[in-house]
Amino acid sequence: MPEYEARKTIDHQEIRRWAEARGGHPVTVRGTEESGEGAGVLRIGFHRDFSLETLEWEDFFDQFEDEDLAFLYQEKTRDGKPSRFFKLVSRE
């Protein structure tokens, strides 16, 4: 599979490796938590954004598992540069 094609994984180490290699960290969108249950809408943050709240990886992956998510991502763009494309999708 070419590195520019999207891949799907549920492997926590692979997700963390991909994010940290690009300067990313786990975050949640502020205001999307539901009455203290869960972290809210998950994202990988690459820059400072006041609408996002940083999470610990453990909390990110707890929510990731609770929501039965998978990580869709791209290693490199067609021109060979590291890609930041990702999307959190249903495991179905």
Nearest to 11 by CA among 63, 85, 64, 56: 64
Residue 51 covered by a domain: yes
Residue 12 covered by a domain: yes
Residue 40 covered by a domain: yes
| pLDDT score, position 36 | 56
Residue 2 covered by a domain: no
| pLDDT score, position 38 | 63
Residue 79: which domain range? Answer: 7-90
Distance CA(61)–CA(75), nearest Å, equals 20
Residue 42 covered by a domain: yes
User: pLDDT tens per residue, the chain (92 residues)?
Assistant: 777 789 999 999 999 999 999 999 999 988 777 655 566 789 999 987 878 889 999 999 999 999 999 999 999 999 999 999 999 999 98
Residue 1 covered by a domain: no
Residue 16 covered by a domain: yes
Number of folded domains in the chain? 1
Q: Is the pTM value of this prediction over 0.95?
A: no
| pLDDT score, position 37 | 59
